[in-house]
Amino acid sequence: MYKKKKILALIPARGGSKQIINKNIKLLCGKPLISYTIEAALASDYIDDVVISTDSDLIAEISLKYGGQVPFMRPKELAGDESKTIDVAIHAINALIKMGRNYDYLVLLQPTSPLRTKDDIDSAIKIIIDGDISSLVSVREVKENPALMRTIENNKLKNIMDFNGSLRRQDLPKYYIFNGAIYI
């Protein structure tokens, strides 16, 4: 809890990954990948509950072992390749409300960002609540500046952005991309 706001950490972890089978529980330095996210969320000074949304009994078992809560199983229709994270979050919130569990904020933490720390989570929570903003996502600066990128149209290079004159790299604006670590 931060400033009397109840905060839920939701970790979506389906069992049916196609590209990397069982990626959420693959071992990384001897521990399941999901364990890093659970531990960071549990270490947070502000998160009240750490809930895992999964369709996998094995992921549920491992999540419980590391201190996460699995108060419901994710339905199969929300565990397919085409399933959207927003639908998973809505399902989780509705399931928790039916259990009498209400929250002011949802912090969505993907298990595929194991380097995210408790401090990253707590800083994001403070920013969103102190700043009275409606949403927050973690980002990283892109290495390849889109101002320098081109497309090929009719065998000719074309700028993807409009610019007048030439640009020095150090004068270019910075651009960012979601890094998938934190969504509030």
Domains of the chain and any CATH numbers: 7-139 (3.90.550.10), 141-176 (no CATH)
Check: CB of residue 41 under 8 Å from CB of residue 109.
yes
Retrieve residue 76's tokens.
Answer: 């199969």
How far is Cα 106 from Cα 83, in angstroms, rounded to an integer?
19
Measured CA to CA, the distance from residue 68 to residue 19 in angstroms comes to: 25
Radius of gyration of the chain (CA): 20
List per-residue pLDDT tens for the chain, 184 residues long.
Answer: 999 999 999 999 999 887 888 999 999 999 999 999 999 999 999 999 999 999 999 999 999 999 999 999 999 999 998 999 999 999 999 999 999 999 999 999 999 999 999 999 999 999 999 999 999 999 999 988 888 888 999 999 988 887 665 677 787 888 999 999 999 9
What's the whole-model pTM score?
A: 0.88
Under 8 Å between Cβ of 22 and 62: no
Look up residue 50 and give its amino acid.
V
Helix, strand or coil, per DSSP, at residue 105:
strand
What does the pLDDT read at residue 169?
75
* pLDDT recorded at residue 166: 66
Task: In whole angstroms, give the CA distance from residue 139 to residue 141.
Answer: 7
